[in-house]
Chain A
């Protein structure tokens, strides 16, 4: 046992400073896709996208739905002058329309969802209880949520605790595009959570169904069933992105600003 103590202490501090300071991502990290130039888009570009995240209107203006994007990079490779990967971690946003972007200002972030929950969070000195439910993810989102409680991210320092009982939960993290057998359990879980409460859709599948949509076996996003407060797109989103979504959901930060 003593060995473990020495082992634990020797490592020193490795926890991220986020949200006080930005957490740098590896240069090559594919966090999100930015639109550089939305004008005069060739129609073929929309057909390249496996999830239909790229839309082109009659004026040939391009819009990108980050809630559908799986970050495969087909479009970036085909038209690097129009679209580019951004290594930024903070990709959470609300409302859903904020995920649909053109070449204007970066709309990630948005106003805090639940003023009431934010007040409550401050009143409770940030004791927020989080519950997770899997409604048909590919399994990677669960790993990234679990990672929030590892020493690198340690979300407990911000006052987020994992709870086993939905009746004790303030925030529900939902992964997956909602399969038929999970619809009932999802609705029941949400129903028994006390007010005020917030729902965060984690991952592209939870935002829109992603690649699993289209076969009629998944609802195509959590918002087809319950109102979603914050969307965290990504396939899967990194732990910092999920943390960003949680902080947005309870109103502890606004937008992508870095401050606690």
Chain B
């Protein structure tokens, strides 16, 4: 099922007063509200009641030290900013206590910055995982706890799942991220934005373009320098190629899990073709080194006719491969009904991306808060209501074709482009803003503070971390052998989650 939802809706003017907040100036699409630490929880609760989606909570330092919460509501990113002054440690009423989406981000704040949310449920240590720790929660003679990871069979990134099972049913599963925490947010500090974007590209390598774009847009918004239209078009081209590669990877892995080897090979071939296209265009198989604050560094090193010809051939192949995939009962039987996530649960956890769209939510940063070329490109948000692994795969199939359509449109626009690719950033400038992009895994939000031309602070709300909290609930009626199907249908990356 697809839905063509309407554009952003204006927020009512009385909202700041209603929340007991003072409105502050901010870049477009960002509603900045100043509250106090005391009223922070109340304002957050009202936003939830108004239908907002929780994005993140973190400590900002510009213009002054403050606790900041970010929420998505009707085409706006609402920023609740509570200056902390000399209060140390920062104390406020916990949001995670009543809003599941806030649990992990709040827990991270507690463990890394000593922040004290009052009334927060005591949770296991999240950020310093121990591979040998068994933390059993299910009692029973024949129930055993299986630590799966961080070293797993096959070539996978490091993450651990503690699976409690009697062999079939999975009464409890505990996701343990942060084995790969490299402190990437700190690696940005002190760099000029042009160099810092290289760090952004390496936070989650399979979504390099999305991370570079979100970071660059945050810098551009903070300094008030919009990129030229041609640069935005190239960014959209690189971003949609990245989405193709990521979605094809998920589908190939699902085929591999059912031992549908020709299907696996077919989707791997398509993915490699996209990867080679990216290498031909950008010189990097992951599209790195192109998107920079202010625009893009160069045009794709490929004739536009050749590019659209290759994409056309790819689309014809994809049509046939999708038909075969969906017509193979041994494949679809494993996906239908597996890992069903109810819409209400997905909303509670503030999930994003194909995961949320597979449970009927039409959330997509390209549509909710259109950025770059997506303001000019119409986007059809693909949603499916079933909430199972099949729905998540179907969302990706739909998005593959939607991405190909966007690519065709962008390439047409590029033929008429004026060729200017980069805007000059003012040297030594200061500012702070959010930037966002729809990564293949879901909405990515980055907060960037620039002081005197250098990056002062960065906070990343990655789609992978936000979606992974749901994995603990993804086995309502499923058995252990469904594990791989469900995991691949999430399509997340530990590097992005752990940062």
Contacts and interface: CB of A to CB of B under 8 A. Distances in A.
A2 B187 CA distance: 52
Given A4-B262, A143-B249, A238-B285, A50 B183 contact: no
Contacts of B187: 211-212, 214-215
A30 B284 contact: yes
Contacts of A143: 205-206, 249
B182 interface: yes
B279 A29 contact: yes
A141 interface: yes
Nearest to A143: B206
Contact of A164 (B153, B281, B282, B324): B153
A137 B181 contact: no
Interface stretch (B94-102, B194-202, B230-238, B481-489): B194-202
A16 to B, nearest CB: 11
B184 interface: yes
A205 B262 CA distance: 34
A19 to B, nearest CB: 19
A3 B327 contact: yes
Interface string A136-152: 11111111111100111
B186 interface: yes
B151 interface: yes
A146 B494 CA distance: 16
Contacts of A4: 260, 262-263, 266, 324, 328
A186 to B, nearest CB: 8
**Size category of the binding interface on chain A:** 35 or more
A257 B334 CA distance: 46
Nearest to B150: A185
A189 B182 contact: no
Interface stretch (A113-121, A176-184, A244-252): A176-184
Contact of B268 (A151, A165, A166): A151
Interface string A7-29: 11001001000000000011111
A198 interface: no
Interface residues of B, number: 64
A70 interface: yes
B150 A152 contact: no
B180 A152 contact: no
Contact of B182 (A73, A165, A218, A238): A218
Contacts of A144: 285
A83 B59 CA distance: 42
Interface string A185-196: 100010000000
B181 A217 contact: yes
Contacts of B111: none
Contact of B198 (A72, A132, A136): A72
Contacts of A238: 279, 285
A124 interface: no
B157 to A, nearest CB: 5
B155 A162 contact: yes
Contacts of A133: 151, 158
A161 interface: no
A133 B150 CA distance: 9
Given A139-B493, A181-B130, A132 B158 contact: no
Contacts of A1: 328
Interface in B164-200: 178-184, 186-187, 191, 195, 198-199
Interface string B218-257: 0000000000000000000000000000000100000000
A154 to B, nearest CB: 10
A78 to B, nearest CB: 12
Interface string B418-453: 000000000000000000000000000000000000
Given A8-B262, A139-B206, A217 B183 contact: yes
A1 B289 CA distance: 42
A233 interface: no
Interface string B40-83: 00000000000000000000000000000000000000000000
Interface string A152-181: 100000000010111000000100110101
Interface of A: 1, 3-5, 7-8, 11, 14, 25-30, 50, 70-74, 85, 132-147, 150-152, 162, 164-166, 173, 176-177, 179, 181-182, 184-185, 189, 205, 210-212, 214-218, 235-236, 238
7 contacts: A7-B321, A28-B281, A141-B205, A144-B285, A162-B154, A211-B198, A215-B187
Given A7-B266, A140-B206, A238-B285, 8 more contacts: A4-B260, A26-B283, A29-B283, A71-B289, A139-B205, A152-B268, A181-B129, A181-B150
